[in-house]
Amino acid sequence: MDTRKHVEVCFTPGEYAYYKNEFEIVVVIDVLRATSAICAAFDNGINSIIPVPTVEEAWDYKQKGFLAGAERKGQIVEGFDFGNSPYSYMNPEFKGKDVVLSTTNGTKSIDVAKDAEIVVIGSFLNLDYLVNWLKNQDKNILCLCSGWQDKFNLEDTICAGAICDALINSGNFISDEDSSIAAKYLYQSAKDNYFGYLKSSSHRRRLKNLNLNEDIKYCLTPNQTNVIPILKDGKLVKL
């Protein structure tokens, strides 16, 4: 009997329903930039992040005195002080705080996956540390890419492919879905130069036009932190 566990890739939150029943762990990925920012925030000593799907919910929390951020279409929503730039969270005022966040794609994916047994946050920033933890869980894993407004995106897929590749190479995991096979192929052709590979990607162009090239470089640099944000009772906390 094959005792290996599955590691598969779902390209968009909209397709999650076709995959979700078979997995105990969901890794939510939004490389540019929500899940990268979340990893950076925990690396910088934040206490918790409450992800909310709508700007209105983030606003309500802000009115109650929370530190609250919101991003739509790559920009900070008017009335908020921060969005999903990882650099925002390096400010010392975030240390030990509980922060509320709503973003275009990333917090939507977290919301879609919230009923899974275990929901963790993945990005290039915590890649190896996350993979090592996943290896020891003996559970089926779904990498849920956040995409861009319900469409496929390249950077999340490549990050998901990196997770699949490492877990399969450990010998204890297999991938069956074509989406996972494609993610692995794309990762393999991208891995020597993420930045160059993604040059033509739509979201990189979008952020570049917003002068966010520094954010992009940061988000595409693997293994800058040993944190795994995990969802507990609706809040992201450090594992």
Residue ranges in contact with a second copy by CB under 8 A: 11-12, 14-15, 18-19, 148-154, 157, 176-179, 181-182, 185-186, 189, 200-203
Nearest to 219 by CA among 158, 129, 152: 158
Q: Is the N-terminal amide bond of 33 cis, ω within 30° of 0?
A: yes
DSSP state of 137: S
Cβ proximity to a second copy: between 138 and 150 the closer is 150
Task: State in angstroms the smallest separation of the CB of 63 from a second copy.
Answer: 34
Cβ proximity to a second copy: between 43 and 156 the closer is 156
Report d(CA 133, CA 90) in Å as an integer.
25
Report d(CA 151, CA 229) in Å as an integer.
25
Cβ proximity to a second copy: between 35 and 179 the closer is 179
Helix (H) or strand (E) holding 229: strand 229-232
Task: State in angstroms the smallest separation of the CB of 12 from a second copy.
Answer: 8
Task: State in angstroms the smallest separation of the CB of 84 from a second copy.
Answer: 19
Task: State in angstroms the smallest separation of the CB of 145 from a second copy.
Answer: 10
Report d(CA 143, CA 42) in Å as an integer.
20
Task: State in angstroms the smallest separation of the CB of 205 from a second copy.
Answer: 8
Tokens of 33: 């930039």
Cβ proximity to a second copy: between 137 and 209 the closer is 209
Cβ proximity to a second copy: between 136 and 200 the closer is 200
Question: Is 165:58 a contact under the CB 8 Å cutoff?
Answer: no
Task: State in angstroms the smallest separation of the CB of 87 from a second copy.
Answer: 24
CA dihedral of 89, 93, 98, 103, whole degrees rounded to 10: -30
Cβ proximity to a second copy: between 117 and 176 the closer is 176
